[in-house]
Structure 1
């Protein structure tokens, strides 16, 4: 097969291995912080991080994707122009965050945000000046170097956050930890390549190319942010911060699976499909076998995780976070559609059809905006949770239609895999409950009692 090689297997190993190590460090950090800090602090920080991400995506024109996909990406004039655009964007976002601090604090009825947001805004300046070295390495498919960098940054972040929380178990430990960790990442990024290569450059032709490519990335980024974070933004207004913090922990676990697949898609599938030199008609046969093997392995692994997910919460967290043991299996099961969607997006980006990603995320967003408030108001938090778990199904359906139009449909394969995944979840859960490893159905429902109090 054209897309399978020993090198690719090695690269996937580095991607998944480094992701697992980095996520393990983040999980360890999260568990320690959960024992040192109160749940409502995580709720406040969930709002802050969500708003920060939203502000960043307001001006995302795909600087990194431009460097990876453009034939001139390695040229100094191109990547330095992209870097200069990124710096200007960071300065503008810093100013925007300062202007929005008071209105956002008023909207969420939290005066803490008036103080926190202007300080967090420094992160925009730091990420703005961050070296484009990561994207140059991604273009070269230097997966090992990127993997080692990510693991090192995760370790540094863990040390910084835990040390600050031990010193001051308040919201300011999380705020200062974010700023210090970002500072370390930005500084280190300049040493991934020769730091002397960086120059403030403005090349009009390259700026035009960046903006032309980035217009759909911009649209897709905004829709993607809202689709991925509407639940957090909406719940922050409608439920207590303590429940929001617990929900944030459950979402962190469920998002890990989708993030891993997205990482593999961005670093492996997207560049491979984009560089496929043969006729389009040969692309689907070339990737069908690899895709099937990857999803079969994912179905077996994810089904075990879903069946054991409530136990993970009970083992790692104290009783203040027990409601997450009820939330996580529901959200984790919904991650299956996120996985299928992420792979579909990587294929569509690889053939230059970024518009389909925006359309798919809009379909998901439309479902959330309509269904989540209706479910929460009429049937409560549990119903809203189920609505959220189903959201990526609508994203997948949109992408499946787009792939069918482009001759890249895998709908029959996906129906069979979904059936297998659902069956495996049921079988594993029954086996584990019979062995006494996890609670039975009534015991699992009891974990969610705090949500309805």
Structure 2
């Protein structure tokens, strides 16, 4: 019996490591740009303006995700992805989807403005609607580069787009500190990269095309992505859509600041899971108890370091907000502390999702997001009117914990058992938060845990 080899050839490993390095480095740079931009815009603009854009962006994301049929993924996945007939058909579908979203956005402007009782949306939503045209026009070249594993070129293009978009918004906010700076910045920051995308490949390759076989393949493949996108959107954006209707836009803008930082941490570990754990698990060929034994040391060491770093982040989150934002945004400090507690469970979930994907069990991921959405949709409307926004932040901690519990249960059924490790790590995480907070209090950097509790009892919303 020949011994099975799990290692990839050195040259292949080097290529994948190089690709992962470019993705990780440019992603980190994009997050730094995003957070730096968030801080500058908060200094230049009023919280209500940021709250307005938070709602508009949530609605925009909803339109894009709720009509996502996996056009780009189809190009990457399909063996005919580089066939001009196939990718031009995909581009034509994308154009039609963008035009459809543009007209739907115009048609829904009045109902949405009335539903939120915000008349300013009657002007702002039509102003943002051309965004769908720009995204529809964007070349499928990005997905061809992804298929060809030309990661460096794609990563640099994405980084350049992020720099340009952030610069446009900051410059416009400095020149005209109104919501129109954000609107025009968003439009310009989308239109220019859309045009530039045509030069990632030979721009003369683009043609309007409608091949029935390609259409069938894209729709057939995309139906699962469509369902997954709906669940993901509801899980990640329900809070923004709900809070925009029940709290002032200024408070929503402050909440958005906290979400920006908490989401950045979560997204980082989702990337690590996707680009390190997922391929590692897939490549080993191990399953069940053997996989648990093989991956447990690396997982335990990584999460141990994360628990220490994140606990320190929770303990100092409010002080960080006080340092980099003016007094208008200081309420975001407590919001961020609580959201980062939820981030711990989100990181555990990201590790679980990567392993589930690695062993070919993606259904657990959608199921976990569905449970997260259900918990937020149930608990947030109960906690907010009774106890205020500070207490309502607990809905996100509960939702992330529930998502992790579902994934841990699904993972256990496959023979992957890390529950004992996770319980110990979670207890250590909470103990470290307490110790860091009290230690920084003794150093005069923060208030103690009792001050935290008093702040949490204040009612907002």
TM-score normalised by length of structure 2 = 0.88
Residue 250 (structure 1) shift: 0.6
Residue 451 (structure 1) shift: 4.8
Q: Which moved more, 1:314-323 or 1:291-300?
A: 291-300
Residue aligning to 2:245: 237
Residue 280 (structure 1) shift: 5.5
Where does 1:57-206 land on structure 2 (aligned, <5 Å)? 57-206=65-214
Residue aligning to 1:222: 230
CA contact (8 A) 1:216 1:354 kept: no
Residue aligning to 1:418: 426
CA contact (8 A) 2:7 2:284 kept: no
CA contact (8 A) 2:141 2:201 kept: yes
Measured at CA, do residues 314 and 412 of structure 1 come closer, stay the same or move farther in structure 2, by a change above 3 Å? same
Residue 425 (structure 1) shift: 2.8
Q: Which moved more, 1:222-231 or 1:203-212?
A: 203-212
Q: What runs of 5+ residues in structure 2 fail to find an aligned partner?
A: 1-5
Measured at CA, do residues 417 and 444 of structure 1 come closer, stay the same or move farther in structure 2, by a change above 3 Å? closer
**How far does the alpha carbon of each residue in 1:202-247 deviate from its partner, in whole angstroms, 9 at most, with x for none?**
3333332322222222112112111111111111111111111101
Residue aligning to 1:385: 393
CA contact (8 A) 1:326 1:448 kept: yes
Q: Helix, strand or coil: the match of 1:199? A: coil
Does residue 415 of structure 2 align to residue 440 of structure 1? no
Q: Helix, strand or coil: the match of 1:452? A: coil
Residue 43 (structure 1) shift: 1.1
**How far does the alpha carbon of each residue in 1:80-119 deviate from its partner, in whole angstroms, 9 at most, with x for none?**
3333222221111111111111100001111111111111
Q: What runs of 5+ residues in structure 1 fail to find an aligned partner?
A: none
Residue 447 (structure 1) shift: 5.5
**Aligned partners of 1:397, 1:126: CA distance in 2, in Å?**
40
Measured at CA, do residues 137 and 396 of structure 1 come closer, stay the same or move farther in structure 2, by a change above 3 Å? farther
**Aligned partners of 1:340, 1:218: CA distance in 2, in Å?**
25
Higher-Rg structure is 2
Q: Which moved more, 1:415-424 or 1:357-366?
A: 415-424
Measured at CA, do residues 39 and 66 of structure 1 come closer, stay the same or move farther in structure 2, by a change above 3 Å? same
Q: Which moved more, 1:329-338 or 1:127-136?
A: 127-136
Does residue 26 of structure 2 align to residue 23 of structure 1? no
Measured at CA, do residues 114 and 313 of structure 1 come closer, stay the same or move farther in structure 2, by a change above 3 Å? same
Q: Helix, strand or coil: the match of 1:390? A: helix
Measured at CA, do residues 279 and 27 of structure 1 come closer, stay the same or move farther in structure 2, by a change above 3 Å? closer
Q: Which moved more, 1:125-134 or 1:410-419?
A: 410-419
Aligned length: 452
Where does 1:368-383 land on structure 2 (aligned, <5 Å)? 368-383=376-391
Residue 124 (structure 1) shift: 0.9
CA contact (8 A) 2:375 2:398 kept: no
Q: Helix, strand or coil: the match of 1:190? A: helix
CA contact (8 A) 2:387 2:459 kept: no
TM-score normalised by length of structure 1 = 0.90
Residue 188 (structure 1) shift: 2.4
**Aligned partners of 2:32, 2:57: CA distance in 1, in Å?**
20
Q: Helix, strand or coil: the match of 2:200? A: coil
Q: Helix, strand or coil: the match of 1:403? A: helix
CA contact (8 A) 2:262 2:340 kept: yes
**How far does the alpha carbon of each residue in 1:409-442 deviate from its partner, in whole angstroms, 9 at most, with x for none?**
5434433433343333333333322222333234
Q: Which among 319, 323, 327 is matched to residue 315 of structure 1?
A: 323
Measured at CA, do residues 217 and 405 of structure 1 come closer, stay the same or move farther in structure 2, by a change above 3 Å? farther
Q: Which among 49, 63, 71 is matched to residue 55 of structure 1?
A: 63
Q: Which moved more, 1:179-188 or 1:81-90?
A: 81-90
Measured at CA, do residues 400 and 129 of structure 1 come closer, stay the same or move farther in structure 2, by a change above 3 Å? farther
Residue 79 (structure 1) shift: 3.2
**Aligned partners of 2:422, 2:271: CA distance in 1, in Å?**
21
Q: Helix, strand or coil: the match of 2:209? A: coil
**How far does the alpha carbon of each residue in 1:180-210 deviate from its partner, in whole angstroms, 9 at most, with x for none?**
0011221222233333443333333333232
Residue aligning to 1:207: 215
Q: Helix, strand or coil: the match of 1:202? A: coil
Q: Helix, strand or coil: the match of 2:393? A: helix
CA contact (8 A) 2:437 2:449 kept: no
Residue 397 (structure 1) shift: 2.1
Residue 46 (structure 1) shift: 0.9
Q: Which moved more, 1:322-331 or 1:66-75?
A: 66-75
Residue 452 (structure 1) shift: 3.5
CA contact (8 A) 1:325 1:447 kept: no
Residue aligning to 1:402: 410
Residue 30 (structure 1) shift: 1.6
**Aligned partners of 2:155, 2:53: CA distance in 1, in Å?**
27
CA RMSD for the aligned pairs? 2.8
